[in-house]
Chains A and B, each alone.
Chain A
Amino acid sequence: MSTAITASARRHERPTASWRLTDRLGLGLAWLLGLLFCAIAGAIVVFFLIEGVRYLRPALLVTNPVAGVSQGETGGFLDPLLGTVIIGAMAMAIAIPVGVAIAVWLSEFGRPTLMARVAESAIEMMAGEPAVVLALFGLTLFELPALGFLSQTSHGVVLGQSFFAAAALLSLVGLPLVVASTREGLQAIPAHVREASYALGKTKIATTRRVLLPAARPSVITGSMLGLGRVIGDTAIVLLLLGGTLTFQPANSTPVLGVLRGTGDTLTGYMYYNSPAGDGNSHSKAYAAAFVLMLIVLALNLGVDVVVRRSRRAVRWS
């Protein structure tokens, strides 16, 4: 019986020849859609590559934007680029520790059960929340007089727009990805590895710190990079909570704190301003900024790939 099957399979060149028509149509459709999306992704990359290379000048990276009429007078995007870096660092500085802590709690402790379940759905909800909703909520929050020290005050009114405010809300955008990825990493660790540590007289906390988190480190890094990608790609929160003011507008002359309490911009805000839909009227510079942002995001994705690939070999139990 089996020899007959192999013989007939060998007679046909293609392995799909014996498939039913619907299966073959499905396969064709899957291929078609796959290629379509590859083409779309490729088109985006190629478009910005061409536009970016055409308009990107080194000078753009080191000069600040200036409001102006013609392309020649609008300067570069130094401040938005720095803003992206600052906002990414600040948001992830909040999102990573909090996210890892939540993931450890959900995965390793999970008590009280009801609270864990509520937290779980809250985080899922946050992941599905449109950023602009978060931004609006953040604005009402940071306009409270009690939080006035985090932004600027003018004539007794708290503006609520600052790097602090934007980073706090953007951390919520990155948080779900950190939590999900870390949890996945923790759950992939076989139960006997935990037990091996307990069986040597180690507490749950010691086990988590010395065994589980190091083992889940690749997942933490992956989640963080994905979260960072989401954070630096966000526009709504930047416009509402960072002000979208093209250049940094420090709250006062205190070196670092003044800038962080003041308003600013990121590459996404800059692109919005300079896009054909915005007020800036420097379209080519929007393309150049988009190209830079795309390079950053691509580099992050590449980093994720490298980490995942390396960790698959490094941390693996049978």
Chain B
Amino acid sequence: MELRKPPPVRRLTGYEVPSSPPSNGNGLHAAAGFRLPARLGAPSMVAIDRMQVEELSVSYGHKPAVQSVSLPIRQGEVLALIGPSGCGKTTLLRSLNRLTELTRGASLRGRITLDDVDVAHMDATALRRRVTMVFQQPNPFPMSVFDNVAYVLREQASRRPRRAAVQGAVHEALARAGLLDEMAGSLDHPALRLSGGQQQRLCIARALAANPQVLLLDEPCSALDPVSTRLIEELIAKLREDVAVVIVTHNLQQAYRVADYVAFMYLGELVEYGSAHKMFGSPREQRTKEYIGGAFG
């Protein structure tokens, strides 16, 4: 799939690199009750517009889930969607690759573009190869580690190209997910025998195998232990250079650790969108302040 035109490249502003994270001595005023953890990785200095959400509303039957949300999604940045349960963040995420279509009764208004093409006009399977997704529960397919990744590289249900032909790409995807060294000797083992953390990183490797432009993560660490969580967060920080990352999370500390931009949603509305720096430092909205401060959620 070719890009229609080169996407605009922009320098980020207002992003001074924090010099000494432990003291948070970077001029941030943390909202009451929220201790700022150390951020992972230096922020990327370029950002490429990938997706644009314009006035998106989604409802299930008569129940609105997302109400006229607009925000940009850029490569080079990690966007975190935060908010209490049922606020529509997962629905928003699932609209980006048109997974909402699979839910009966779901209806969608507004526009989402990927590289300036309306996703509604794209073939759903083609879109989903460019905007891949990782789920809350690790869900490797019941096949070997190798085949889990190779499945993505092959045409639909086909078993071709053969193993030798996809080996390079499979190894590359596993390497990008930081799993290649660990899995070197066990590529033929059933993926469901791996530990939860390894399974989730395999799911990330699988999602990266198609070389997507956007990677959607739906609470990828909520079923994992702290060590696996750490590994995945480091991975996300590394990945944002090559792929736009959108992560839904319930964990504010995690949002702070990995996100460059944060969107706070509440009752289906986008309450506030801004840089992580601003959202965690001095949010504009009272509700954001309360949520980040732990008043509700």
A residues whose Cβ falls under 8 Å from a Cβ of B: 190, 192-193, 195-203, 205-206, 209-211, 214-215, 314-318
Contact = CB atoms under 8 A, between A and B. Distances in A.
A318 B128 contact: no
Given A199-B97, A210-B151, A215 B142 contact: yes
Contacts of B102: 195, 198
B186 to A, nearest CB: 16
B192 A315 contact: yes
Which of B141, B156, B216 has its CB near the most chain A CB atoms (within 10 A)?
B141
A203 B123 CA distance: 11
A317 B132 contact: no
Contact of B210 (A192, A196, A201, A215): A201
Given A192-B139, A196-B139, A196-B203, A202 B156 contact: yes
B143 A214 contact: yes
Given A199-B99, A200-B128, A318 B142 contact: no
B99 A193 contact: no
A210 B203 CA distance: 16
A201 B157 contact: no
Contacts of A210: 141, 143, 151, 157
B139 A203 contact: no
Nearest to B133: A199
A205 B138 contact: no
A192 B134 CA distance: 10
Contacts of A211: 141-142
Given A210-B157, A211-B141, A200 B190 contact: no
B271 interface: no
Interface string B125-163: 111110011011111011100000001100011000000
Chain A interface mostly: helix
B223 interface: yes
B206 interface: yes
B188 to A, nearest CB: 15
Interface of B: 97, 99, 102, 125-129, 132-133, 135-139, 141-143, 151-152, 156-157, 190, 192, 196, 203, 206-207, 210, 216, 223
A193 B136 CA distance: 11
A115 B100 CA distance: 26
Chain B interface mostly: mixed
Contacts of B207: 199-200
A317 B125 CA distance: 25
Nearest to A311: B142
Contacts of B151: 200, 202, 210
Contacts of A205: 156-157
Contact of B137 (A203, A209, A318): A318
Which of B99, B138, B157, B192 has its CB near the most chain A CB atoms (within 10 A)?
B157
Given A203-B156, A317-B192, A197 B137 contact: no
Nearest to B143: A214
A197 B135 CA distance: 11
Contacts of B135: 192, 195-196, 199
Contacts of B152: 200-201
B139 A190 contact: yes
A215 B139 CA distance: 12
A197 B97 contact: no
Contacts of B210: 200-201
22 contacts: A192-B135, A195-B102, A196-B135, A196-B139, A199-B99, A199-B132, A200-B133, A200-B152, A200-B206, A200-B207, A200-B210, A201-B125, A202-B125, A202-B157, A203-B156, A205-B156, A210-B141, A210-B151, A215-B141, A215-B142, A314-B142, A318-B138
